[in-house]
């Protein structure tokens, strides 16, 4: 193998390594998204309202659109999830529901 062939082989291997690194990062991103989705379901099911709100972005552009309206920013999200019956510490019946997360659809943008 001459120098030119060796250099071509090295470049091809470097390209393969880069592709594998990108694929590995995408798989890691997907697993983190799954973990986030499952945490959301668990926290909601167990009425861990502060933990649910903490899963949302700190960005002022954060918006939660639900049947009850539009809640902006993390404090808006917190307001939506905050228990309304603090004195008795009970779950709100209209808010108690199961969150089944069996078949997530996860897309990772090409740029990560």
pLDDT class of 88 with cuts at 50, 70, 90? low
pLDDT of residue 48: 83
pLDDT of residue 84: 59
pLDDT of residue 87: 41
Say whether pLDDT at 56 is over 70.
Answer: yes
HEC-encoded secondary structure of the chain:
CCHHHHHHHHHHHHHHHHHHHHHHHHHHHHHHHHHHHHHHHHHHHCCCHHHHHHCCCCCCCCEEEECCEEEEHHHHHHHHHCCCCCCCCCCCCCCCCCCCCCCCCCCCCCCC
pLDDT of residue 43: 86
Of the candidates 27, 26, 73, which has an alpha carbon nearest to the alpha carbon of residue 53?
A: 73
pLDDT of residue 73: 94
Tokens in use for 90?
A: 């009970």
pLDDT of residue 86: 47
Say whether pLDDT at 21 is over 60.
Answer: yes
Q: What is the pTM of this model?
A: 0.71
How far is residue 74's CA from residue 18's CA, in Å, rounded to a whole number?
37
Locate the domains of the chain by residue range.
Answer: 1-46, 48-85
pLDDT of residue 6: 95
Tokens in use for 18?
A: 């880069």
Number of residues that this document lists for the chain: 112
pLDDT of residue 80: 86
Say whether pLDDT at 92 is over 70.
Answer: no
């Amino acid at each position: 193998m001459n120098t030119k062939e060796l250099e071509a082989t090295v470049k091809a291997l470097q390209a393969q390594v880069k592709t594998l690194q990108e694929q590995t990062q995408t798989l890691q991103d997907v697993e983190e998204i799954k973990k986030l989705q499952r945490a959301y379901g668990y926290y909601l099911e167990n009425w861990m309202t502060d933990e649910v709100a903490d899963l949302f972005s700190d960005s002022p552009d954060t918006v939660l659109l639900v049947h009850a309206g539009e809640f902006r920013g993390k404090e808006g999200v917190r307001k939506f999830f905050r228990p309304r019956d603090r004195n008795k510490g009970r779950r709100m019946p209209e808010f108690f529901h199961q969150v089944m997360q069996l078949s997530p659809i996860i897309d990772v943008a090409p740029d990560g």
